[in-house]
Structure 1
Amino acid sequence: MATDGNCVAALVQHQCEDDPQVNLARSEAGIREGAGRGADLILLQELHRTPYPCQQEDPAVFDLAEPVPGPTTDHLGRLALELGVVIVGSVFERRAAGLYHNTAVVLETDGRLVGTYRKMHIPDDPGYYEKFYFAPGDTGFEPVDTSVGRLGVLVCWDQWFPEAARLMALAGADMLLYPTAIGWAAEDDAAERERQRDAWTTVQRAHAVTNGMPVLVCNRCGHEPDPQGLGSGARFWGSSFVVGPQGEFIARAGTEEPEVLLATLDLHRNDTVRRMWPFLRDRRVDAYDHLLLRFRD
């Protein structure tokens, strides 16, 4: 395990379809493969049990939601216990009637649900109508203590916000983990698609650099048709990756195919890198009051 400062992580990238049980079986197969290849920590993609639910605004989609703890966390907990791994999953959470969240969950090696994180930043874009479905999170930016380290778990759109990454770092996270569902728009040409994917990769590598810790990103892959037939559907760009505390690539997945991506993390390097690049030391906390404003008019 990670007691010597090393942690082997597996990222399970796969396509999803309409049947939640098929999707959960694909996640389980990836978990088993990762554990069989020596992983201590398994990261699943965003909302891995269902097709991406937010392509259109449809009240019937709320039927896909479930409580936390609930069936998915129970299933992942049993796998964590059987395989002796820490699992980070993602659930469309039904908290109460009319109150839903996009929630990451952490299962310890003994099967316990030891942490949850409710997505804080909620997008509202064509094909990604998440504000219709999810209330903003209220769990704060608190790492989850596990046997493989303190996990700074965030979700998808959170990955664009340096404030979220920094707050996890300031709370003592050893690494940042992002279950993700992001893809290309059909109308964009190849050059625009590459710019978007490059921006996505770059901003998260920057979180690793400025906070001196590894970043793990697990994205969906494949095409999911628009369930209402109104649009071209979503083509997720895969490209799951792991970078070290200087933003260096440790492992990268392809764009199209399911993949179980393995990476070995040397968590001792966090301290080594921060000694060379002491961003936390040199922060001017006395001069950042305006960060609490929406905009300076």
Structure 2
Amino acid sequence: MSPGSEYNLYTAIGDELMDSPARVNEPETTPLRISLIQASWEGSKEAQIQSLTRAVEIASEFEPDLIVFQELTLYPYACSVPNFDGSDFKPEGLISGESHDFAVRMAKLSNAHILISLYEEADEEGELGFNTALIVSPKGEVVTRTRKTHIPQSAGYYENTYFAPGDDGAPTALIGEATVGAPTCWDQWFPELARIYALNESDVLVYPTAIGSEVNHPNFDTQPQWQSVMVGHAIANGIFIAAANRVGTEGDNTFYGSSFIVDPYGRIVLKAGRDEHAVLVADLDLDQRTDWLTLFPFFKGRRPHMYGELVADIELAAEEI
């Protein structure tokens, strides 16, 4: 795959939509049409913007309600080393920066909501910034902001030297008839957060993502585990989950793409390849959430009074796990 590669298109819309095997009633809600953009870093912000604009033009032909970009959309993934200092990796204002402006342009171009991920500047001078997902409406208005809650700190992913953990909780945006949450990447691995979103009646979780090879274990491919944990979240919470990953090699990291959408039954609706630029467009049958949770009513059997240890401040050393 070379910079400027064309985008491959994958769709699951209209008659391509999978039936709900546990259908309770005839569908009552309008499906959410979502598009994921899987792309690489093109070497400069100018080239990145040009490439992603082309992807949005492709997606726009299908009139999506929401277009989702990868994590750190207009940036290289500099976090493969600690404390990188480069002109293309600087924090920016939430609504005064280039990422916000690009999202507004793409929202107006596509007449869709746009989810963009950015390196947000710190609240106070001298502090760490934030890894932030921003959703902009078709009119260019900010709908919601979600700062990444969990920050990785491992070889090849030294995000703790750039980003502070966010404390936004689980904010959502109403897009059409869908309640959408936007946690980011490493948040994918935490079932507690997915459950909180589900308890807040989210229909869809979208994760802008940047994940790939493991520097200290180059022969270990974590893509199956990455996908499986989100499939589990979808089933256990009766929600749709969509992850937009990046591709290409940056520094020591080779990102494995495989962007996908999974339904509440755990079925993969669409999935991109590991090393391609791709545009995914799918209709999400929101009534599947009701169908699945009627058959398997997980929330009715919860016993919150027994879950105190989940929120206890317990630190375990790696050798204790």
Deviations 1:162-216 (A, max 9, x none): 00101111112111110000001366465x21xx111111100011001101100
Say which of 263, 267, 275 aligns to 1:256: 275
The residue number in structure 2 matching 1:35 is 60
The residue number in structure 2 matching 1:215 is 241
What is the total number of aligned residue pairs between the two structures?
285
Q: How far apart, in 1, do the equivalents of 2:49 and 2:301 lie?
A: 45
Deviations 1:245-288 (A, max 9, x none): 11101000000011001221101111111101111111111211
AA paired with 1:56?
Answer: V
Q: How far apart, in 1, do the equivalents of 2:301 and 2:51 lie?
A: 45
RMSD: 1.9
Preserved contact between residue 45 and residue 218 of structure 1 (Cα < 8 Å):
yes
Preserved contact between residue 45 and residue 74 of structure 2 (Cα < 8 Å):
yes
Which structure carries more helix by proportion?
1
SS in 2 for 1:32: helix
Preserved contact between residue 12 and residue 42 of structure 1 (Cα < 8 Å):
yes
AA paired with 1:58?
Answer: N
AA paired with 1:248?
Answer: R
TM-score, normalization: structure 1? Answer: 0.90
SS in 2 for 1:92: strand
Q: How far apart, in 2, do the equivalents of 1:26 and 1:157 lie?
A: 25
Q: How far apart, in 1, do the equivalents of 2:228 and 2:196 lie?
A: 19
Between the two structures, name the one with larger relative contact order (CA 8 Å, sep ≥ 6).
Answer: 2
SS in 1 for 2:152: coil
AA paired with 2:105?
Answer: R
Q: How far apart, in 2, do the equivalents of 1:270 and 1:255 lie?
A: 29
Unaligned runs of 5+ in 1: 227-232
The residue number in structure 1 matching 2:75 is 50
TM-score, normalization: structure 2? Answer: 0.84
Deviation at 1:140, TM superposition (A): 1.0
The residue number in structure 1 matching 2:295 is 276
Identity of aligned residues (%): 34
Pair 1:172-2:201 in alignment: yes
Trace 1:40-79 onto structure 2 (pairs within 5 A).
40-58=65-83, 60-61=85-86, 64-70=90-96, 71-79=98-106
The residue number in structure 1 matching 2:151 is 122
Q: How far apart, in 2, do the equivalents of 1:155 and 1:148 lie?
A: 22
Unaligned runs of 5+ in 2: 1-27, 317-321
Q: How far apart, in 1, do the equivalents of 2:165 and 2:218 lie?
A: 32
Q: How far apart, in 2, do the equivalents of 1:167 and 1:197 lie?
A: 25
Q: How far apart, in 2, do the equivalents of 1:139 and 1:187 lie?
A: 32
Deviation at 1:81, TM superposition (A): 2.4
SS in 1 for 2:164: coil
AA paired with 2:234?
Answer: A
Preserved contact between residue 107 and residue 140 of structure 2 (Cα < 8 Å):
yes
The residue number in structure 2 matching 1:230 is none
